[in-house]
Amino acid sequence: MAAAVLVTLTAQGHCVSVSTDVVVVAQIQGVSLIGCKVKTDDTSLEISSMTWSEQIVGAGWQKASARIELSVSCNYRAWSVDIHTNNVSAHPDLLQKGGLLSLTNNALHIPLAWVVSDSTVPITAVGEPGELLTNTVTGNTAQAAWRYLKDINDMDNLNTTAWNESWSVAQAGGYTSVVSGTCATMRLPYGITANSPLIIYIEGDFNSIEGGAGYQSTIWFDLVFQ
């Protein structure tokens, strides 16, 4: 950033112009901070991991009994936060690896889905990913939808032609973005402005899972900026 200072001298009988310049420099420190906590839905008690208070096998999608509070601060020109798992140990034949991976059989997993809000009003509705949820956020009524939790190792299923399920396509299209922004504002995936911290809810599909086994994974948040 630069600015100029003009100095003019005037003598009687003739005009003499003298100019000089002063360079003004401002170095703005880049800020890119991200952090998350897990809290129980009912008491807001901070806990070490997310779980389900009850899992009913065959009952379909069920919401976890805790939520994730995500804090973001970034003053770069353009940025976004991606959510994903990294189940690198999943069986190669498991094309869609996002979710909870079985601890005893790496070919089995529980698909997960997520929805984001910056409202303290809890989201209680569950449903198939893609189904719209009406939720009041920062005074506005917006349409939010559950989205499948993708894994960075997801590959496209060539037997389906309606869409490409790979991580690269999902990430490039913004499907994995929890929030995006600039140095001045941040927006949720469905377009409205938001404030940190963000509240992220997780649900799992318990329709067809193996009983008597443990399932586990780690959910990652990546802050990408330019």
Which residues have C-beta within 8 Å of that of residue 96, sequence separation ≥ 6?
111, 148, 151, 154, 155, 157, 165
Structure tokens at 46: 């901070």
Residues forming a β-bridge with 46: 39
Write the pLDDT tens digit of every residue in 32-81.
788 999 998 888 899 898 888 777 777 789 899 889 999 998 888 899 99
Of the listed ranges 5-9, 90-94, 112-116, 175-179, the one predicted with least confidence: 5-9
Of the listed ranges 7-21, 63-77, 154-168, 195-209, the one predicted with least confidence: 7-21
Check pLDDT > 50 for residue 8. Answer: no
Q: In terms of residue numbers, what domain contains 138?
A: 29-225
Residue 105, domain member (yes or no) = yes
Q: Write down the pLDDT at residue 17.
A: 60
**3-state secondary structure (DSSP) of residue 169:** helix
Residue 23, domain member (yes or no) = no
Query: CA angle, 177 as apex, 119 and 163 as ends, to 5°?
Result: 125
Q: Return the higher-pLDDT residue of 78 and 124.
A: 78
Round to whole Å and give the CA distance between 146 and 140.
18
Of the listed ranges 82-96, 125-139, 172-186, the one predicted with least confidence: 125-139
Side-chain half-sphere exposure of 33, counting CA atoms within 13 A: 6
Check pLDDT > 90 for residue 134. Answer: no
* 138: confidence class by pLDDT, cuts 50, 70, 90: very low
Task: From 188, 155, 185, 158, select the one nearest 83 (Cα to Cα).
Answer: 188
Residue 167, domain member (yes or no) = yes
Number of domains the chain is built from: 1
Check pLDDT > 70 for residue 100. Answer: yes
For the chain, the maximum distance between any two Cα atoms, rounded to a whole number of angstroms, is 102
Residue 152, domain member (yes or no) = yes
Q: Write down the pLDDT at residue 32.
A: 79
Residue 20, domain member (yes or no) = no
Span 96-113, average pLDDT: 90
Residue 3, domain member (yes or no) = no
Round to whole Å and give the CA distance between 182 and 94.
37
Span 130-149, average pLDDT: 65
Q: Return the higher-pLDDT residue of 47 and 210.
A: 47
Residue 112, domain member (yes or no) = yes
Round to whole Å and give the CA distance between 226 and 218.
26
Q: Write down the pLDDT at residue 84.
A: 94
Mean pLDDT, the chain, whole residue set: 81
Write the pLDDT tens digit of every residue in 141-190.
456 789 999 999 999 888 887 788 899 999 999 999 999 998 888 999 88
Residue 149, domain member (yes or no) = yes
State pTM to two decimals: 0.82
